[in-house]
Amino acid sequence: MLRLVLRLWPRLGAVALAVALVIPAIPASASPEDDLAQKREEAAVLERQISENGTRISILDEEYNVARIAIEQADAGIVQAEAGVADAEARAAGLSDRVAGRAAQMYIQAGAGPLAALETEEAVDLAARGAYGAAAAEQDNSLIDELDAAREDLNVRRAELEGERVAAQDNQAALTGMRDELARAQDVQEELLAGVEGDIAGLVSEIEAKRRAEDEERARQEFQRRAQEEAERAARTTTTTTTTVATVASAAAGDEDPAPSPPKAAPVVSSVPAPNANAQIAVDTALAQLGKPYQSAGKGPDSFDCSGLTGFAWKAAGVSIPHSSQAQYAGLPHVSMSEIAPGDLLFYGSPIHHVGVYVGNDQYVHAPQTGDVVKISSIFRSDFAGAARPG
């Protein structure tokens, strides 16, 4: 292993050394059994690091999407504020012109001749018009002041939005750097793994397969337990409804019908809409992307991240959802575990950082992580967070 690290060092740099140094130092093997144990430990460490880095990259990708949405919202707010400023300026300019014109007209009329030369009725009319003009000018000036204040408020809001945009851009840049660093570490680990002897690679696959099988079985049991609890709660609701209806029917019948036939149970009405034709379009679209590469912030058609894939699938069905797994889960109607149907979105992680499209038979289509492709996997994961239905 040390020879491999030294061979990779000139090309991989400090990141490679940092990754390699976390592999535990194990004494030289005294027997084939000890050698096998050492290889198993090294393989387990590498597999665990690769898995953990993949999760961290997925979380950073989700934070990157959230930062991108914040930038878009700030940009939209700035455009709206600028439009408001422009409107306020145009209205203020129009009022200023009107006030100036009215003042000029009053000045011209005042200089046309002495008031004594006017008839009394005309003088009264001129005075009334002068008073009206002065009042109108005062009102216009008040409106101009209000528009100036509104324009100032809009300028302040625009400055605040520009600050928010800068902060979001800085956060996005920092996340990009962190994500790229993790991706480089991931590449180093994978190259270390590929460069070791074949038996270690085989052991890694063996350990990973065993771990995934154990995790999937635990997740399956937890999933089924929670679904059973939901079904039992629904059954209790149905039983209560049935008993109530039977009691009311018996009381209404009185002595004329001492043994009425039991009524049918009232159906339990669900607030979650049933899947429609759009769900099938979303499933078909997601399945058509199998094998395409994962790419951070990718939204198709050639590459995807997890929320980019789900958004692409449902966009084909005419439903627009945000490019963020957290935003998708927060903004869509939730579905209980016992009610999930093809087309529903399944979410994972705490905080949520992964999502895929359920296709039935306990499987879903998803874009897993950097270095992987769009694939079908079991829905049973220990970090299952919930489900939602776009439409």
| Residue 311, H or E segment | helix 306-315
Give the whole-angstrom CA distance, residue 289 versus residue 311.
12
Q: Is 353 a catalytic residue?
A: no
With 0-12 / 13-18 / 19 or more C-beta atoms within 10 angstroms meaning exposed / middle / buried, residue 357 is buried
Give the whole-angstrom CA distance, residue 326 versus residue 310.
12
Q: Dihedral, CA atoms, 211, 213, 219, 223, nearest 10 degrees?
A: 180
Q: What is the number of helices (H) and of strands (E) in the chain?
A: 7, 6
- Rg of the chain over Cα atoms, rounded to whole angstroms, equals 35
Q: Please name which of 336, 383, 358 lies closest in space to residue 230, comparing C-alpha atoms.
A: 336
Give the whole-angstrom CA distance, residue 364 versus residue 379.
6
CB of 353 closer than 8 Å to CB of 364? no
Q: Is 354 a catalytic residue?
A: yes
Q: Is 385 helix (H, G, I), strand (E, B) or coil?
A: strand
Q: Is 323 a catalytic residue?
A: no
Length of the chain: 391
With 0-12 / 13-18 / 19 or more C-beta atoms within 10 angstroms meaning exposed / middle / buried, residue 307 is buried
Tokens of 114: 């002495």
Q: Which residues are catalytic?
A: 306, 354, 366
